[in-house]
């Protein structure tokens, strides 16, 4: 009957009809049939298939879209959810028996079941509309005379059979990429072919190639792109220099991490009686890359550089990223500069945006600059100290207006000559880091605001970096969480960003600081690129863009192109609103993908570092609480692992979702998110990328 009713409404999409009229249309005569009809109508309304207006039922608008979504596999892969975009429905719970052949990230069609799992309706996957991945990385293993690829634990749960004719030179134990998957529903075993041999397991190059392939980043550049790159020279023509503001005699220097290979920003400063002239000089990559080239197309496809542990997959070929475009010391380099006049409080009195040429006088590391500031002495101390004092004023002003300063602890690995981690240290954020950050924020803000000046009659198509306000439900959930830790936070405050900053100050230097910051970030919307400006909530900026890293971010390169076109009005290249929108969407997606790849490389190195430390005791913080266990983040190296509830001895623990905690049924002992614990390392699984801990009483 349910199928009949759905078919009836599908064939009459605009019909509004009462239940007794449906009964007549379907020729239902018996009382129990009418009762069943009413139950099904109620069920279809709950599921979102029908909508009820008064006493009449009608097919819901965009019902096809409402039953199509993205499948998201749970961490332990025993259940999943289908996230339905642009729908008021909650995510649909999918038990393992109803996965079908769906893999994590697939676009699927679902059928809803009249059953609830907590807040979510249950469903089953009926059709795979689009596969997120058609190729997978994994390890090739020989079983008797048969070959199988055991995929890396990310998106696919089944092993893949490989015929000996399809090995493509791969040998037992190799890491490989497999494709040409046979997805037939009735097939018990998936079949595929080896597309690429990534290398021998355990080698550093193989590990990084595996991660790059897993997240679909190309390590090598096409020959045509490299050929175009070879045409560029370090020499700058006199005509080009004459067309720019020549700043080669000014004191300009770069400040970067010690292991940085490309330098795309530099600073300069001069003081007058009541103000400072600060130059923020950015590598002019746009001068070298034209829209109609394969180099431009490759940069657009990559959209970002990817920073894996110990290596980088660059957006641009090395000749450009590490040499011709990089602001190396002692070399004339083309730049795009924001030259600002600031008073002593950091207020912008005036600015200009100019094509320039510079010659960096010094390449500083963050540690070198910090030592100069601490010692109050050293090369270019006068300039560095002025920049730092002014940066403090900029920071203070920004925070006063509601800019949120999230603290996300980072780690640095000490690698041996084989790429294995011999040590892990926590990175310390010092004033030298903040100094650079403050001037980059200033330049990005000035450039974005320039296109929204009151005098601009026509709104010009532009690329903004936007950050929406958090959803009220998420911010209320966050309030409940921090109150369980003893912190005060008012989710109903008029200025939520100021309220958030006040809270983060309360949590500063506490053991739960990283957890509070992490959950706060999760409660926020994601920052993205967009042609529609809505401001940047987290920074408290009305106008913001990305202009300062064109060597490693494609949107920055496009902003440079747009700047030149609009300011000089003689660039033949043009970009439609549709093109810019596509660039924004693709760049935002690639950015998220790059972050995932970077996190995966960090996790792999953490696992390798801990591999020989079984039964070692560690201090940690509870970083996640679920119905199946608690996640622990180790304090000294930020590695995260799991304590399964079933493995906690001497008591049975009950999960309390509302209070982010578990409580022992017999002891009454409660463990909450953010609690400090002592744990023992029990298992390191490199293949599954998992850590297991045991709780020490």
Predicted local confidence at residue 182, as pLDDT:
84
pLDDT at 311 over 90: yes
Which residue has tokens 């309360």?
Answer: 506
Highest-confidence segment of 37-51, 64-78, 360-374, 682-696: 360-374
Q: Which residues pair with 279 in a beta bridge?
A: 268, 339
pLDDT score recorded for residue 88: 59
Using one digit for the tens of pLDDT, what is the confidence trace for 503-556?
888 888 787 787 888 888 888 889 999 999 999 999 999 999 999 999 999 999
Tell me, what's the pLDDT at 189? 74
Mapped onto helix, strand or coil, the DSSP state of residue 618 is strand
Locus of tokens 């202009």: 547
Cα dihedral 481, 487, 493, 496, rounded to 10, equals -70
Q: What is the pLDDT of residue 455?
A: 55
> Is the pLDDT at 188 greater than 70, yes or no?
no
Which whole number is the average pLDDT over 483-507?
84
DSSP 382: H
Position 186 scores a pLDDT of 56
CB atoms within 10 A of CB 188: 7
* Category of 8 on φ-ψ map: left (φ > 0), alpha (ψ -120 to 50) or beta: alpha
Grade residue 169 by pLDDT with cuts at 50, 70 and 90.
very high
On whether the CB atoms of residues 336 and 351 are closer than 8 A, the answer is no
208 has a pLDDT exceeding 60? yes
If we measure between CA atoms, which residue out of 638, 593, 606, 518 comes closest to residue 307? 593
Q: Does residue 106 contact residue 71 with C-beta atoms inside 8 Å?
A: yes
Return the pLDDT at 62.
Answer: 52
Q: Region 670-693: what's the mean pLDDT?
A: 91
Please determine, for residue 263, whether its predicted confidence score (pLDDT) is greater than 50: yes
Q: What distance in Å separates the CA atoms of residue 285 and residue 49, rounded to the nearest whole number?
A: 52
| 132-166 pLDDT, tens digit each | 888 888 899 998 889 999 887 666 667 889 999 99
Look at residue 463 and tell me whether its pLDDT is greater than 70.
Answer: yes
Interatomic CA distance for residues 321 and 298, integer angstroms: 14
Rounded to an integer, what distance in angstroms lies between the CA atom of residue 413 and that of residue 259?
Answer: 12
Q: DSSP character for 592?
A: H
Residue 26 burial by Cβ neighbours in a 10 Å radius (0-12, 13-18, 19+): middle
Q: Where are the alpha helices (DSSP H) in 120-273?
A: 204-214, 223-230, 238-242
Q: What pLDDT was estimated at residue 25?
A: 80
Question: In this structure, are residues 65 and 89 in contact, taking their beta carbons and an 8 Å threshold?
Answer: no
**pLDDT of 65:** 45
Helices assigned H by DSSP within 128-277: 204-214, 223-230, 238-242
**Torsion angle in degrees (nearest 10) through CA of 467, 473, 474, 478:** 130
**Bridge partners (DSSP) listed for residue 128:** 108
- The whole-angstrom separation of Cα 269 and Cα 686 is 50
pLDDT at 319 over 50: yes
Give the Cα separation of 522 and 542 in Å (integer): 22
The residues, ordered by sequence, that sit 6+ positions from 418 with a Cβ below 8 Å of its Cβ are 203, 204
Identify the weakest region by mean pLDDT among 61-65, 134-138, 646-650, 654-658. Answer: 61-65
What is the model's pLDDT at position 325?
Answer: 96
107 burial type by CB count under 10 A (0-12 exposed, 13-18 middle, 19+ buried): middle
* pLDDT tens profile 578-608: 999 999 999 999 999 999 999 999 999 999 9
End-to-end CA distance of the chain: 57
Distances (CA, A) of 642 to 514, 538, 624, 635, 674: 18, 31, 9, 15, 15
Tell me how far the alpha carbon of residue 431 is from its chain's centroid: 26
Q: What is the mean pLDDT of residues 616-630?
A: 92
Q: Are 160 and 151 in contact (CB under 8 A)?
A: yes
Three-state SS sequence of 327-367: CCCCCEEEEEEEEEEEECCCCEEEEEEEEEEEECCEEEEHH
Q: Is 513 exposed, middle or buried (0-12, 13-18, 19+ CB in 10 A)?
A: middle
Bridging pattern class, strands 79-83 and 92-95: antiparallel
The answer to whether residues 548 and 264 touch, using CB atoms and an 8 Å cutoff, is yes
* pLDDT top residue among 256 and 401: 256
Residue 243 has pLDDT above 90, yes or no: yes
Higher pLDDT pick, 686 / 295: 295
Question: CB under 8 Å, gap of 24 or more: what pairs does 295-303 form?
Answer: 295/225, 295/228, 295/229, 298/221, 298/222, 298/225, 299/554, 299/557, 300/554, 300/583, 300/586, 302/217, 302/218, 302/554, 302/590, 303/553, 303/554, 303/555, 303/586, 303/587, 303/590, 303/591
Contacts by 455-460, CB closer than 8 A, 24 or more apart: 460/562, 460/566
* More confidently predicted of 353 and 119: 353
Determine the pLDDT at residue 56: 86
pLDDT above 70 covers what percent of the chain? 94
CB 183 within 8 A of CB 190: yes
What is the average pLDDT value for the chain, to the nearest integer? 89
Q: What is the pLDDT of residues 405-425, one digit of tens each?
A: 887 888 999 999 999 999 999
Query: Considering Cα of 338, then 341, then 347, then 350, what sign does the dihedral take?
Result: negative
User: In the chain, how long is the greatest CA-to-CA distance?
Assistant: 96
SS3 of 427-496: CCCCHHHHHHHHHHHHHHHHHHHHCCCCCCCCCCCCCEEEECCCCHHHHHHHHHHHHHCCCCCCCCCCCH
What pTM does this model have? Answer: 0.83
Q: Considering Cα of 504, then 401, then 393, then 250, what sign does the dihedral take? A: positive
Give how far Cα 24 sits from Cα of 18, 28, 58, Å: 10, 6, 16
More confident residue, 476 or 383: 383
């Amino acid at each position: 009957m349910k199928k009949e009713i759905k078919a009836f409404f599908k064939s009459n999409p605009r019909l509004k009809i009462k239940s007794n009229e449906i009964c007549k249309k379907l020729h239902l005569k018996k009382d129990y049939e009418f009762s069943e009809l009413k139950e099904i109508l109620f069920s279809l309304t709950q599921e979102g298939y029908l909508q009820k207006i008064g006493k009449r039922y009608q097919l819901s608008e965009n019902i096809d879209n409402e039953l199509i979504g993205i499948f998201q596999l749970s961490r332990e892969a025993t259940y999943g959810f289908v996230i339905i975009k642009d729908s008021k429905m909650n995510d649909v719970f999918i038990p393992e028996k109803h996965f079908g052949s769906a893999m994590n990230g697939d676009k699927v069609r679902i059928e809803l079941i009249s059953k609830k799992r907590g807040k979510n309706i249950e469903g089953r996957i009926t059709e795979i509309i689009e596969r997120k991945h058609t190729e997978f990385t994994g390890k090739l293993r020989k079983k008797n005379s048969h070959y199988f690829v055991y995929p890396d634990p990310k998106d696919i749960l089944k092993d893949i059979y490989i015929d000996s004719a399809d090995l493509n030179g791969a040998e037992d134990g190799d890491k490989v990429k497999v494709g040409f998957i046979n997805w037939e529903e009735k097939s018990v075993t998936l079949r595929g072919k080896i597309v690429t041999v990534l290398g021998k397991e355990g080698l550093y190059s193989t590990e990084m190639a595996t991660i790059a392939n897993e997240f679909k980043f190309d390590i090598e550049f096409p020959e045509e792109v490299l050929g175009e790159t070879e045409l560029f020279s370090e020499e700058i023509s006199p005509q080009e220099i004459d067309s720019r503001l020549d700043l080669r005699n000014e004191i300009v220097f770069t400040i970067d991490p010690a292991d940085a290979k490309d330098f795309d920003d530099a600073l300069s400063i001069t003081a007058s009686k009541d103000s400072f002239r600060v130059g923020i000089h950015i590598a002019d990559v746009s001068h070298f890359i034209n829209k109609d080239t394969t180099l431009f197309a490759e940069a657009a496809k990559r959209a970002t550089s990817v920073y894996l542990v110990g290596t980088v997959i660059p957006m641009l070929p090395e000749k450009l990223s590490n040499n011709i475009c990089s602001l190396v010391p002692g070399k004339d380099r083309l730049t795009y500069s924001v030259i600002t006049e600031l008073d002593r409080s950091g207020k912008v009195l005036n600015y200009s945006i100019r094509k320039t040429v510079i010659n960096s006088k010094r390449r500083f590391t963050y540690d070198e600059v910090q030592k100069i500031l601490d010692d109050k002495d050293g090369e270019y101390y006068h300039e560095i100290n002025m920049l730092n004092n002014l940066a403090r004023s900029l920071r203070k002003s920004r925070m006063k207006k509601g800019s949120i300063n999230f603290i996300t602890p980072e780690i640095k690995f000490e690698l041996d000559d084989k790429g294995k981690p011999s040590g892990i240290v926590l990175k310390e954020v010092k004033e030298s880091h903040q100094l650079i950050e403050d001037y980059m924020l200033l330049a990005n803000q000035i450039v974005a605001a320039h296109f929204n000046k009151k005098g601009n009659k026509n709104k010009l198509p532009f690329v903004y970096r936007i950050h929406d306000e958090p959803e009220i439900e998420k911010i209320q959930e966050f309030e409940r969480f921090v109150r369980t830790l003893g912190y005060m936070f008012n989710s109903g405050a008029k200025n939520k960003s100021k309220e958030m900053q006040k809270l983060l100050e309360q949590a500063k230097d506490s053991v739960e600081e990283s957890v509070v910051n992490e959950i706060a970030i999760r409660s926020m919307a994601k920052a993205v690129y967009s042609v529609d400006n809505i401001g940047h909530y987290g920074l408290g900026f009305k106008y913001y863009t990305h202009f300062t890293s064109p060597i490693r971010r494609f949107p920055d390169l496009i902003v440079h192109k747009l700047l030149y076109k609009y300011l000089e009005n003689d660039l033949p290249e043009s970009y439609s609103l549709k093109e810019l929108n596509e660039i924004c969407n693709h760049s935002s997606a690639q950015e998220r993908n790059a972050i995932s790849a970077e996190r995966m490389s960090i996790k792999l190195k953490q696992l390798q570092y801990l591999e020989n430390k079984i039964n070692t005791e560690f201090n940690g913080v509870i970083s996640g609480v679920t119905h199946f266990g608690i996640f622990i983040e180790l304090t000294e190296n930020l590695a995260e692992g799991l304590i399964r509830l079933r493995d906690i001895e001497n008591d049975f623990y009950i999960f309390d979702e509302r209070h982010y905690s578990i409580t022992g049924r017999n002891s009454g002992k409660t463990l909450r998110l953010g609690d400090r614990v002592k744990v023992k390392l029990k298992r390191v699984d490199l293949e599954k990328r998992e850590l297991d801990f045991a709780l020490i009483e």
